[in-house]
Amino acid sequence: KIANTYRMEPHIRFRDYLVRNKAQAVLMNKLEKAKYDEASSPSLCASISEEILKAVKDLDFDRFKYVVSVLIVEKAGQAMNVASRWVWDTQRDGWVSAKCETETFIALALVMACYYE
């Protein structure tokens, strides 16, 4: 069995700019020429969030768990506010948002990284 190290800091810290670039690239690659479709949006959100999660895990940050949320909203002249609430450790945890806007919809990806001891 593996013994606990009691280490309180990660060896490789979460770097938000790297995660933002990865998430933005995934959004642009998947949605650049897409049109809004109400029926296929949930499955598209799921596949995009899985792809972003895989890309973030490949960055190999030490001891982090991730939550990835993707939201696709049709453009209809409305305003939109998105809010999240978390119990947060400001020294170790981090978050990133990425946005892709086309003629017919807006896609927002949120990536939260929680330090796991």
For the chain, domain boundaries: 16-115
Mean pLDDT of 63-88: 89
Mean pLDDT of all residues in 22-33: 93
Averaged pLDDT for residues 36-49: 93
More confident residue, 6 or 19: 19
pLDDT of 13: 86
Q: What is the pLDDT of residue 94?
A: 92
Predicted local confidence at residue 23, as pLDDT: 96
**Four-CA torsion 71, 73, 78, 83, nearest 10 degrees:** -10
68: nearest Cα among 80, 54, 58, 81: 54
Domain 16-115 has CATH 1.10.1660.10: no
Integer Cα distance of 51 and 45 in angstroms: 10
Closest by alpha carbon to 56, among 70, 42, 41?
A: 70
Banded model confidence at residue 88, pLDDT cuts 50, 70, 90:
confident
Tokens 């929680």 found at? 114
